Amino acid sequence: MDTTPSTDFVKLIRDATPLAQIVMGILVTFSAISWGVIASKYAQFRRAAAETTTFLDVFRRSSRFSEVQSVCGNLTASPLVGLFLAGYTEVNAQLRGVGPADPAKPAPAVARPTLKSMEALDRALLRAASVEVTRLEKRVTFLATTASITPYIGLFGTVIGIMNSFMGIAGAGSSSLGVVAPGIAEALIATALGLFAAIPAVYFYNELAGKVKAFTVSMDDFAMEFLNIAERNFT
């Protein structure tokens, strides 16, 4: 099998100017980091989705908040766990000293535990949701940065390659293909690497952003469900 094209391609990169090699190295680095982010976020979201399903099953089957709280340590990947713990902590803080915080426990007829402020509970859930969204979005924005910046870095490498071509023409006093081709090829490699880094980053950024949005909707629904339970039992 003839491997000359592959060998020439490698040789072309090796013989490129130092500045062009730096540009190519930057593009390859962006691409490698992007794929690492994509793989890690998909693994994180897959685990979060599985643990969210388990958590909701436990939450809806349990008659006591304390039962739900006992399993939270094993389901930390689910963003709903953060919301529940924030709400549970706020409920306990408001009910401390006035009665049991668990809706399953019978309350005395003359001293039914009552939340002091549903608004404070709502704010606690909102703060927890913001923390969870930030955790879900961590490093996803790097894909947006890669998608935005790598085409321009590739374009910069293209300009460098074209400049080298013109310099070769000026130095050789000839515009033959042998003089022009190396610089043009160098420029096209930079363009290709820029697109190679940018296109997957755009696609997977949109995919992951959609998953974050789906988790956000789930957190909103859970917050409303938690508030409804608190209102029924503690107001």
Residue 221: pLDDT over 90: yes
Q: Model-level pTM?
A: 0.79
Which residues span the domain enclosing 39?
4-234
Query: Which one is predicted more confidently, 16 or 132?
Result: 132
Residue 175: pLDDT over 70: no
Look up residue 77 and give its two tokens. 């990947």
Mean pLDDT of the residues in the chain: 83
3-state secondary structure 207-225: HHHHHHHHHHHHHHHHHHH
Residue 107: pLDDT over 60: no
pLDDT at 94: 83
Residue 192: pLDDT over 80: yes
Q: Given CA atoms 196, 198, 204, 208 in this order, what sign does their dihedral have?
A: positive
Averaged pLDDT for residues 153-158: 89
Confidence of residue 62 (pLDDT cuts 50, 70, 90): confident
User: How many structural domains are present in the chain?
Assistant: 1
Residue 3: pLDDT over 50: no
Measured distance CA(58)–CA(54) in Å, rounded = 6
